[in-house]
Amino acid sequence: MKICRAVFVILAMLFAAVCQPPARAQLTSSSATPGDTQAQTPASQQAAFVPSSPVNGHLELEYHRPTAREKLKTYAFDTFGPYAFLGSAFSAGIAQGETASKAHNAGIPPDWGQGWDSYGARVGSDFGINLITQTTRYSLAAAFGEDTIFYRCECTGFLPRLKHALISTVTARRGEDGHRVFSFPAIAAPYAGTEAAALLWYPSRYDAVDGFRAGNYNLLAQAGLNLALEFIYGGPHTLLSHHHVPVISNATDSHPDAK
């Protein structure tokens, strides 16, 4: 129950952050007078040739939808890259350690016991969960016309980047302008991975309810993956992170600085 409440609280915080009105942008645009607009026209005509200012820099950058090849590269990185192996080894180690406590249902599945053979089985299981999670996410994203690739924030500062990574866990980009929406593929994929484990290779006593419960943890693991992508290494699509996503800058109240 505690993990369920934690997930619901995180989702509520993300919803509030995404729906936050871009007050600063509205205030800036509404306070401009016709004379100011005319005076700024020469500067806007030169925007394509000179670096953007810190105030209006977010108006000059544009979102570019990734190509099929770029999507394939990011899918391969998320599924078979270093984070997939390290995450599987880490989570399997936690489960392996929990079996020593002899607590009820500790070290899911506790039936596998301890030892190197059990640890290897857990690593393979967690890797399979991630494989199904990422495959489901990218497949559903293609069906829904969404872009679920994680883009590093163009902002600076720990808190804005943290908020960006958490928002990206349950949202995606849609349309040519890359506007951000709550994403069914991003939310459903973690549960698809754990449901597959519970119904296909976990002991027979596990059912769909257990898979859904484990999906809450998998959703938090995806948030952890986004944090690693944001703060450590963004993967082969890191260069794409320089493309601007307007709603994210408004939601996080952050815009790119002048270069």
C-alpha closest to that of 105 among 8, 202, 220:
202
- Is residue 1 assigned to a domain? no
pLDDT at 250: 52
What are the φ/ψ torsions at residue 200 (nearest 5 degrees)?
A: -110, -45
Average pLDDT over residues 58-73: 75
pLDDT value at 43 more than 90 = no
- Is residue 50 assigned to a domain? no
Average pLDDT over residues 47-75: 60
pLDDT at 62: 65
Average pLDDT over residues 55-60: 33
Tens of pLDDT, residues 70-129 = 999 999 999 999 999 999 999 999 988 887 766 556 667 888 888 899 999 999 999 999
C-alpha closest to that of 192 among 142, 126, 135, 145:
135
Tell me the C-alpha distance between 79 and 133, whole Å: 9
pLDDT value at 251 more than 90 = no
**pLDDT, greater one: 52 or 222:** 222
Tell me the C-alpha distance between 125 and 119, whole Å: 10
- Is residue 120 assigned to a domain? yes
- Is residue 161 assigned to a domain? yes
Q: What is the mean pLDDT of the chain?
A: 75
pLDDT at 51: 33
Average pLDDT over residues 28-47: 42
Tell me the C-alpha distance between 254 and 259, whole Å: 15
Tell me the C-alpha distance between 238 and 243, whole Å: 10
**pLDDT, greater one: 28 or 159:** 159
**pLDDT, greater one: 250 or 56:** 250
**225 is in which domain, residue-wise?**
68-252
- Is residue 6 assigned to a domain? no
pLDDT value at 44 more than 60 = no
Q: Which residues pair with 174 in a beta bridge?
A: 146, 179
pLDDT value at 231 more than 90 = yes
- Is residue 186 assigned to a domain? yes
- Is residue 40 assigned to a domain? no
Average pLDDT over residues 59-76: 81
pLDDT value at 6 more than 80 = no
**One-letter amino acid for residue 22 of the chain:** P
**Residue 58 pLDDT grade (very low, low, confident, very high; cuts 50, 70, 90):** very low
pLDDT value at 257 more than 60 = no
Given a contact cutoff of 8 angstroms between Cβ atoms, the answer to whether 114 and 96 are in contact is: yes
pLDDT at 180: 92
- Is residue 210 assigned to a domain? yes
Tell me the C-alpha distance between 231 and 153, whole Å: 10
pTM of the model: 0.69
Which whole-number Å values give the CA distances from 141 to 58, 181, 185, 253, in the listed order?
26, 12, 6, 27
Q: How many domains does the chain have?
A: 1
Give 195-217 as a 3 state SS string: HHHHHHCCCCCCCHHHHHHHHHH
**pLDDT, greater one: 133 or 114:** 133
Neighbour count for residue 32 (Cβ, 10 Å):
11
Tell me the C-alpha distance between 88 and 102, whole Å: 22
Tens of pLDDT, residues 182-192 = 999 999 999 99
Give 139-152 as a 3 state SS string: HHHHHHCEECCCCC
pLDDT at 88: 95
